[in-house]
Amino acid sequence: MIYAGDFRNGITFEMDGSVYQVVDFQHVKPGKGSAFVRAKIKNVMTGAIVERTFNPSDKMPRAVIERKEMQYLYSDEDLYYFMDTESYEQIPIGKDVLGDSLKFVKENENVEVLMYKGSVFGVEPPFFVELEVIETEPGFKGDTATNATKPAKVETGAVVKVPLFVNQGDRIRIDTRTGEYMERA
């Protein structure tokens, strides 16, 4: 069991028959009245984010999320296939479950598959990936002085905003959590 007063970002718990993850929390002690916890929580199965207020003494059962490292193999229409790196068992996961979490992941890269009671609800790619720019407008000498950006298509098909000096064929490093360009690799 976990008390609402012990909430921290990333903690998962069960409430109303669903599993929630704390996205943001704030302990509030008003001048009058009792303290409370205001939290943004995300339903891990549906992805919906709601804001709720809890009494710090509210108790919820802790939800154990299983993380398993798997290798992304390939996609076939609306199914993505992953292989367990220990047992070599392959599992298909539907596009509706994954959303756009694989837009920066190439085939044969390892990812974390998230499961709750044996049911897959998401995939976490590595925090940073290196990808090749396959399509962008050419850069010009002297373009490094401004903070202007341009769109660039990377080898997975995703489009990223990059500085003007990045050219087609360059390898760039991308933060998969924000989808932002970090640096040239």
Q: Which amino acid is at 87?
A: S
| Tens-digit pLDDT string for the chain (185 aa) | 899 888 888 788 999 888 898 888 999 898 888 899 999 998 887 778 899 999 999 999 998 888 899 999 998 888 889 999 899 999 998 887 777 788 888 889 999 988 888 888 888 888 899 999 999 888 665 555 567 888 999 998 899 998 888 888 999 999 888 888 988 88
pLDDT at 146: 64
Task: Enter the DSSP assignment of 137.
Answer: P
pLDDT at 50: 92
* 158: Cα separation from own chain's centroid: 15
Adjacent-strand bridge partners of 180: 175
pLDDT at 139: 67
> Strand, helix or coil at 97?
helix
What count of other Cβ atoms lies within 10 Å of the Cβ of residue 12?
A: 19
Q: How far apart are CA 84 and CA 73, in angstroms?
A: 10
Q: How far apart are CA 10 and CA 20, in angstroms?
A: 9
Please tell me whether the overall predicted TM-score, pTM, comes out greater than 0.75 for this model. Answer: no
Q: How far apart are CA 74 and CA 80, in angstroms?
A: 6
Q: Domains of the chain (ranges plus CATH)?
A: 2-60 (2.30.30.30), 66-124 (2.40.50.140), 129-184 (2.40.50.140)
Q: How far apart are CA 96 and CA 52, in angstroms?
A: 27
The first and second tokens of residue 173, run together, are 């490093």
> Strand, helix or coil at 135?
strand
